C-alpha cells in the first residue's frame, strides 16, 4: 500500500494481514513512525497523560488534540491518521459531536476520528458518518469513563458485560465504523468479537486473536519505566538510554569537554 486508507484496513483483515498501529503526538515522532512503516497512527487522548502529565485522559481539550493532530499530519506520507475525540467534545449531543469531528478534520487534516463507547453514542456516530467522516470505535476499557469504572483493570470478565460488548461491536459495524479498538479485555472474548464482524479489530491488552495491535509509543519505547502492565512489550529501554546520554552531556558541559575544537566556529 502506497497510502493507507480505511479501505486498505478492511482489505487487510479480509486477506488475513495484521494491522500495526502506534500513537504519536508530535511531528518528529510521527515522521519516524511513518517512515518505519506503521499502518495507522493514533493521535490518542493518551497525550493527556504522556505529553501533558495529567493523571487521566479527561482534561485534554479539543484545541489541544487539534494541535497534536496537525503536527502529526504534517509529518506523514503513508500512514492513516486517526484522532481521538476528547472527553466532553461528543458526549452531550450528536450535533456537538459532529461539530467536534468537523473541527478535527478541517483544522488538523486527520483522516478519521475515534470515539469511546457503543449504544450510548449511536446517534453521534451516525451523524459523524453521515458527514463523510470515517469513525473508529473503542470498547472495553474506555479511559474517558474511568470515574465510572473506578479502576484500570481488565474489562468484560463477567458474562453480562461481555454480552453488551459483543452487541456494541456488532452495532458499530452496522452503523458503518471502519474499525474498532478493544482495550484490556480477555483474549478469548476479543477473538470472538474479531471473528463475528468484518471490520478490523485492533487490540491493546486484548490478545493475539484480533486483527491488529496498538500501543502507546512512549510505553513500547520504554520511556516510562513506571508503567508495566502485562500486555506491554518494551522494544527499547529509552528511559535508561536517554538518562545515560543526558547524564553524559551534563558531565561533558561541567568538565568543559563539550564543545571541543571541532564543535565551534
Q: Which residues sit in the known binding site for 3-methyl-2-oxobutanoate? A: 45-46, 84, 114
Q: How far apart are CA 128 and CA 130, in angstroms?
A: 5
Q: How far apart are CA 178 and CA 11, in angstroms?
A: 11
Does 183 qualify as catalytic in the annotation? Answer: yes
Contact 238/222 with Cβ under 8 angstroms?
yes
Residue with smaller CB distance to ligand KIV, 2 or 148: 148
Positions 4 through 23 that interact with ligand KIV (CB under 6 A): 23
What is the nearest approach in angstroms of ligand KIV to the Cβ of residue 150? 19
Positions 81 through 110 that interact with ligand KIV (CB under 6 A): 84
Task: For residue 241, give the 3-state DSSP assignment.
Answer: helix
H/E element holding 180? strand 179-183
Q: Which of 34, 39, 45, 219 binds ligand KIV (CB under 6 A)?
A: 45
Q: How far apart are CA 219 and CA 154, in angstroms?
A: 18
Residue length of the chain: 265
Q: Is residue 144 near ligand KIV by the rule CB under 6 A?
A: no
Q: Which of 13, 34, 44, 111 binds ligand KIV (CB under 6 A)?
A: 44
CB within 8 Å of 95: residues ≥ 6 apart: 127
What is the nearest approach in angstroms of ligand KIV to the Cβ of residue 88? 15
Contact 216/44 with Cβ under 8 angstroms?
yes
CB within 8 Å of 223: residues ≥ 6 apart: 238, 239, 242
Number of residues located near ligand KIV, criterion CB under 6 A:
11
What is the nearest approach in angstroms of Na ion to the Cβ of residue 126? 21
Contact 206/185 with Cβ under 8 angstroms?
yes
53 dihedral zone (left: phi>0; alpha: psi -120 to 50; beta): left
Q: Which three cell numbers stand for residue 163?
A: 454480552
Residue with smaller CB distance to Na ion, 159 or 172: 172
Q: Which of 34, 39, 45, 211 binds Na ion (CB under 5 A)?
A: 45
Q: Which of 46, 70, 71, 108 binds ligand KIV (CB under 6 A)?
A: 46
Residue with smaller CB distance to ligand KIV, 44 or 247: 44
Q: Which of 38, 104, 179, 216 binds ligand KIV (CB under 6 A)?
A: 216
Positions 82 through 141 that interact with Na ion (CB under 5 A): 84
Residues that bind ligand KIV (CB under 6 A): 23, 42, 44-46, 84, 181, 183, 204, 214, 216
Q: Which residues are catalytic?
A: 183
Amino acid at each position: 500500500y502506497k497510502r493507507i486508507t480505511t479501505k486498505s484496513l478492511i482489505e487487510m483483515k479480509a486477506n488475513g494481514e495484521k494491522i500495526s498501529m502506534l500513537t504519536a503526538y508530535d511531528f518528529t515522532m510521527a515522521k519516524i513512525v511513518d517512515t518505519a512503516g506503521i499502518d495507522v497512527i493514533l493521535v490518542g487522548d493518551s497525550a493527556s497523560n504522556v505529553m501533558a502529565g495529567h493523571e487521566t485522559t479527561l482534561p485534554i481539550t479539543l484545541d489541544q488534540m487539534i494541535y497534536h493532530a496537525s503536527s502529526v499530519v504534517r509529518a506523514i506520507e503513508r500512514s492513516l491518521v486517526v484522532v481521538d475525540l476528547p472527553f466532553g467534545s461528543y458526549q452531550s449531543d450528536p450535533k456537538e459531536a459532529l461539530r467536534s469531528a468537523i473541527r478535527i478534520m478541517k483544522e488538523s487534516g486527520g483522516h478519521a476520528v475515534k470515539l469511546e463507547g457503543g449504544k450510548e453514542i449511536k446517534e453521534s456516530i451516525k451523524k459523524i458518518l453521515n458527514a463523510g467522516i470515517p469513525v473508529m470505535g473503542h470498547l472495553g476499557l474506555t479511559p474517558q469513563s474511568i470515574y465510572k469504572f473506578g479502576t484500570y483493570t481488565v474489562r468484560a470478565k463477567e458474562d453480562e458485560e461481555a454480552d453488551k460488548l459483543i452487541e456494541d461491536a456488532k452495532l458499530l459495524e452496522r452503523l458503518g465504523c471502519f474499525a474498532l479498538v478493544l482495550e484490556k479485555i480477555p483474549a478469548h472474548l476479543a477473538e470472538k468479537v474479531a471473528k463475528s464482524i468484518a471490520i478490523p479489530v485492533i487490540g491493546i491488552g486484548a490478545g493475539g486473536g484480533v486483527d491488529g495491535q496498538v500501543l502507546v509509543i512512549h510505553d513500547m519505547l520504554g520511556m516510562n519505566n513506571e508503567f508495566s502492565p502485562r500486555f506491554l512489550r518494551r522494544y527499547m529501554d529509552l528511559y535508561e538510554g536517554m538518562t545515560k546520554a543526558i547524564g553524559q552531556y551534563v558531565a561533558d558541559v561541567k568538565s568543559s569537554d563539550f564543545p571541543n575544537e571541532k564543535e565551534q566556529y
